[in-house]
Amino acid sequence: MKQVELDKLDRKILSLLQQDGRVSNQLLAEQVGLSPAACWRRVRALEESGVIQGYCARVDPERIGQGLCVLVNLSLQRHTIDSTAEIEQQVSSYPEVLQCFAVTGNADFVLRVVVPDMASYDRFLNEKIFTLQGIAQVNSNFALREIKNTETIPVEGIP
């Protein structure tokens, strides 16, 4: 994937939008120092190039009863393109899995899973993870508390 060249104004726009994705174009333009039309064109170009992938609301999982966060390490029995693709497809379809990373080290995948409680996690393991073909080992790490959780990519000060 080709890296997109960003100038100072693009980086400022990205920084502000990451702070508040609902900011009006008028206010964004004022904060960046552009006309509203020029600002809108830049935002649109950032969206079309894939730099801005979308907008969403951040939800507090505990406030909606999804307070158990588990980091799950999955190790595979064998590494083939087909078996890996199948696991990736299945895991991606599970709503409890918020993130899935293919990694190096002791595991092949790390999942961030959010569920209401331990009984729900037990069901998730038994009904979904343990039914996957080719899983050799599952290791669960339970988050005691959240120290930092951000989606903000540092864009200020990069060349």
The two tokens of residue 60 are: 């507090």
Longest dimension (CA), the chain: 57
Residue 26 reports pLDDT greater than 70? yes
Per-residue confidence (pLDDT) for residue 37, from 0 to 100? 98
Rounded to the nearest angstrom, the gap between the alpha carbon of residue 25 and the centroid of all alpha carbons in its chain is: 25
Mean pLDDT across 11-18: 96
Count CB atoms within 10 A of the CB of residue 12.
19
Domains of the chain in start order, with CATH, are: 8-48 (1.10.10.10), 62-142 (3.30.70.920)
Could you write out the three-class secondary structure of the chain? CCCCCCCHHHHHHHHHHHHCCCCCHHHHHHHHCCCHHHHHHHHHHHHHCCCCCCCCCCCCCHHHCCCEEEEEEEEECCCCHHHHHHHHHHHHHCCCEEEEEECCCCCCEEEEEEECCHHHHHHHHHHHHCCCCCEEEEEEEECCCCCCCCCCCCCCCCC
Residue 158 reports pLDDT greater than 80? no
Per-residue confidence (pLDDT) for residue 1, from 0 to 100? 74
Indicate the pTM of the whole model: 0.88
User: pLDDT digit string (tens) for 97-148?
Assistant: 999 999 999 999 999 999 999 999 999 999 999 999 999 999 999 999 999 9
Residue 38 reports pLDDT greater than 90? yes
Looking at per-residue confidence, does 92 or 78 come out higher? 92
Per-residue confidence (pLDDT) for residue 2, from 0 to 100? 85
